[in-house]
Structure 1
């Protein structure tokens, strides 16, 4: 039996099958239809197409926004709000006729990068997703740490630490609170900060490009972004002290982060002598689907197929 991962994104759903060595055997994508029953049907169709192409049945892992409550099995905290309150994992399992494992998409990125990515072999790694939103995932000794309430790694909805007077209370988040990291260190947050400063609407790539030419407002925006992200990571460093931070999402492609973040984290982490590795995800946009596939081990997949 092969390992099949589903990356459940806001605009697309991807299914990918891996062999025992982690090589892609097949990859297929479809638009996310934006509705519950249609999304389940899309997943079932993608899995069916992958298995038909390969002539093999697979274990199924899903990386999705939000998380599953360990008490009632219902989805919660997904920005695709129509997933919340639904038994998504069980409904997909029923549609596919087999067990399904599901984890937060940032946890899947962390798992992928620890298995054979930028954090391969690290005793502990914290994945930082800085894209349209902010996500986090923690892997220790090769296992995802979801916590007693299934909320492990959900750092996107904690407030920015060490806020200055000008920053407080921070912008209102979709979760109903002010100052969440999701609003401040995402690519969306970078663009919003630039708009507050200038009144102009620019995307993250354009802001970074302008900062590299020395444009003052873009430079100030990028400087503030790096300082905020570093403070947020220092909080994680002080609480968890991971061996490796792995960055994913669109902002992870900004090279300045890797040059400048270590000094910011060290300046705010407790004790002042913090040292660890900060690296971009080796598998980039593929990390999520690879980690989802690896919610089942190679041994479990082999056993299921025997």
Structure 2
């Protein structure tokens, strides 16, 4: 049995997966906004699932940040109370077994590569297009973290092949301007719509209006498609994945994946592009399922 934990900013979700991917149990609690309480909540979730099912399992954890291998400390976490804390060490001590921890975007990619929309594909790029823009790389069932733990961080590259009105671009919290995230994240799309129309709408509202033929919303959706296609073309030119899986709130836009797949070709350095661009299969459960899949095969603690 594999147990996966998704540590989010507002909730902590846990699932237990059978070897064939079936969900055996699911638990969810609110996320405490304090470190020690967060550790206790995770331990309690694992113990509750194991008591309910009457068996032990491996434990994988997805977090909104990453763990520095040299120190074992968390960095770059949106849940700031985790930063600088030995989360892995403390969980392993409390649970008396190894715990594997991975960035939540990498967990999303691993989930979809294991038994989701990209199951069986050798090279998968998982895209997060939500409040921010991130991603993860899975090669032959294994997450590629990278030397600097930056594997998949495509959102903080500049928007490629910018048009004159896209030059410089909006400022980004990372300190740069014109990052991909500032253009195709949920807030980025809403800000783009506001600049062009003067209308304040959320991205889901804009996409729904575009689907109905709204004359102000359709161009915003077209700019999103064009910018996402250019941005993902650089991923294909460098990584050349078999499948690109879209996740995050923006990915719920009807027809977005197919539109990007069609639009990406002019920017790829090839006369033929066979990379599939697909929407995710597991939705909001991808992160927690991917955390469970951090253990490729069941190992008794």
TM-score, length of structure 1 as denominator length = 0.92
Q: Which residue of 2 aligns with 1:61?
A: 60
Cα pair 2:193 2:217 within 8 Å, conserved: yes
Cα pair 1:70 1:149 within 8 Å, conserved: no
Q: Which residue of 1 aligns with 2:171?
A: 172
Deviation, structure 1 residue 27: 0.6
Cα pair 1:89 1:101 within 8 Å, conserved: yes
Q: Which residue of 2 aligns with 1:48?
A: 47
Q: Which residue of 2 aligns with 1:12?
A: 11
How far apart in 1 are the matches of 2:163 and 2:56?
54
Alignment root-mean-square deviation, CA: 1.7
The CA deviation string for residues 83-121 of structure 1, in whole angstroms up to 9 with x for no partner, is 233222222223323211011112111111122111111
Q: Which residue of 2 aligns with 1:80?
A: 79
Query: Residue 15 and residue 201 in structure 1: after superposition, are their counterparts in 2 closer, same or farther (change >3 A)?
Result: same
Q: Which residue of 2 aligns with 1:290?
A: 289
Q: Secondary structure at the match of 1:115?
A: helix
Query: Residue 163 and residue 17 in structure 1: after superposition, are their counterparts in 2 closer, same or farther (change >3 A)?
Result: same
Q: Which residue of 1 aligns with 2:300?
A: 304
Deviation, structure 1 residue 263: 2.8
Q: Which residue of 2 aligns with 1:163?
A: 162
Q: Secondary structure at the match of 1:166?
A: helix
Q: Which residue of 2 aligns with 1:102?
A: 101
Q: Which moved more, 1:222-231 or 1:47-56?
A: 47-56
Pairs aligned (count): 301
Where in structure 2 are there 5+ consecutive unaligned residues? none
Q: Which residue of 1 aligns with 2:135?
A: 136
How far apart in 1 are the matches of 2:271 and 2:34?
48
How far apart in 2 are the matches of 1:69 and 1:162?
34
Q: Which runs of 4+ in 1 moved over 3 A?
A: none
Deviation, structure 1 residue 170: 2.0
Cα pair 1:107 1:127 within 8 Å, conserved: yes
Cα pair 2:258 2:278 within 8 Å, conserved: no
Q: Secondary structure at the match of 1:128?
A: strand
How far apart in 1 are the matches of 2:59 and 2:80?
23
Q: Secondary structure at the match of 1:126?
A: strand
Q: Which residue of 2 aligns with 1:277?
A: 276
How far apart in 2 are the matches of 1:78 and 1:148?
18
Cα pair 1:266 1:275 within 8 Å, conserved: no
Query: Residue 32 and residue 195 in structure 1: after superposition, are their counterparts in 2 closer, same or farther (change >3 A)?
Result: farther
Cα pair 1:67 1:151 within 8 Å, conserved: no
Cα pair 2:122 2:242 within 8 Å, conserved: yes
Q: Secondary structure at the match of 2:45?
A: helix
How far apart in 2 are the matches of 1:178 and 1:39?
35
Query: Residue 38 and residue 199 in structure 1: after superposition, are their counterparts in 2 closer, same or farther (change >3 A)?
Result: farther
Deviation, structure 1 residue 272: 4.2
How far apart in 2 are the matches of 1:212 and 1:245?
23
Query: Residue 156 and residue 262 in structure 1: after superposition, are their counterparts in 2 closer, same or farther (change >3 A)?
Result: same
Cα pair 2:107 2:290 within 8 Å, conserved: yes
How far apart in 2 are the matches of 1:209 and 1:48?
42
